[in-house]
């Protein structure tokens, strides 16, 4: 997949493109990251890309022309790409949205700075706006890096084991189950017996029960969005009984 990034600070992306999962995806040519700096498209001698906001107020706003030209240039090489603006005003991104982005022919991530970008860019050039949550970053670059990392791990052949991504939190609308590794006992804390049993059916059942229970206690909104099967309801009630929780569903 090709992702073009409109950013004033392309060097920031070295933090993900040269290391870890994303670095592996780039090295294995599963992911192609291309950068376009709006300053290179500025039509003034100082290469400035921002100006004061109409109506007054603090801060500066990224101008239409250099950002628009950067997007248009990226689109010439990434023809059917979806233009994504990373913004606190966008829809909250989730695992399902990330899966849908992977199905696109290409992506262009627009990274704002200062007080934001001229609204006419959003009206004329942007296909979707996404937010990481109800907080404000200094720019869109960190949000873009998060999305790139999340998508890279979903690309076949990037992770050491393709099923690793399928077991992540939120892939089935639930939080992930607990995980353990050697040694079996640490400071009187023991690995659950079922995980040592070799009974794969029992292990699968235990893991689903833990995912349901954790989601119910930590993220009840996730449970509310799901239509639980009769088996899932039984497992969740077992979990609540085991921890002596007063509520049953």
Encoded tokens for 2: 């090709």
Between CA 204 and CA 224 the distance in angstroms is 23
Q: How many CB atoms lie within 10 A of CB 77?
A: 12
Residue 177 vs residues 46, 94, 172, 210, 242: alpha-carbon distances, Å: 54, 19, 12, 5, 16
Strand partners of residue 111? 86
Provide CB contacts within 8 A for 238, sequence distance 6+.
209
Provide CB contacts within 8 A for 100, sequence distance 6+.
none
Radius of gyration, alpha carbons of the chain: 23
Residues annotated as part of the active site: 88, 115, 153, 168
Q: Reduce the DSSP state of residue 108 to 3 states and report it.
A: strand
CA 93 to mean position of chain CA atoms: 7
The answer to whether 32 and 74 have CB atoms below 8 angstroms apart is no
Strand partners of residue 6? 36, 110
């Amino acid at each position: 997949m090709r992702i073009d990034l409109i950013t004033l600070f392309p060097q920031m992306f070295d933090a993900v493109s040269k290391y870890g999962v994303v670095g592996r995806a780039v090295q294995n040519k599963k992911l192609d990251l291309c950068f376009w700096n709006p300053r290179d498209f500025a039509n003034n001698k100082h290469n400035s890309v921002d100006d004061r906001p109409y109506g007054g107020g603090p801060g500066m706003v990224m101008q239409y022309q250099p950002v628009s030209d950067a997007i248009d240039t990226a689109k010439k090489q990434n023809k059917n790409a979806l233009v994504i603006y990373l913004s606190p005003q966008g829809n909250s991104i989730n695992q399902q949205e990330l899966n849908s982005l992977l199905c696109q022919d290409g992506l262009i991530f627009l990274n704002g700075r200062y007080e934001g970008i001229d609204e006419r860019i959003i009206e004329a050039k942007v296909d979707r706006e996404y937010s990481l949550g109800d907080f404000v970053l200094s720019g869109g670059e960190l949000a873009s890096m998060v999305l790139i990392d999340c998508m890279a791990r979903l690309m076949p052949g990037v992770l050491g084991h393709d099923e690793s991504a399928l077991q992540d939190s939120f892939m089935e609308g639930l939080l992930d189950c607990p995980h353990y590794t050697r040694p079996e006992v640490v400071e009187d804390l023991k690995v659950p017996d079922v995980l040592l049993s070799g009974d794969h059916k029992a292990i699968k059942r235990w893991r689903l029960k833990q995912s349901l229970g954790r989601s119910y206690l930590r993220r009840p909104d996730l449970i509310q969005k799901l239509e639980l099967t009769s088996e899932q309801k039984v497992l969740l009630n077992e979990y609540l009984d085991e921890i002596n929780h007063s509520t049953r569903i």
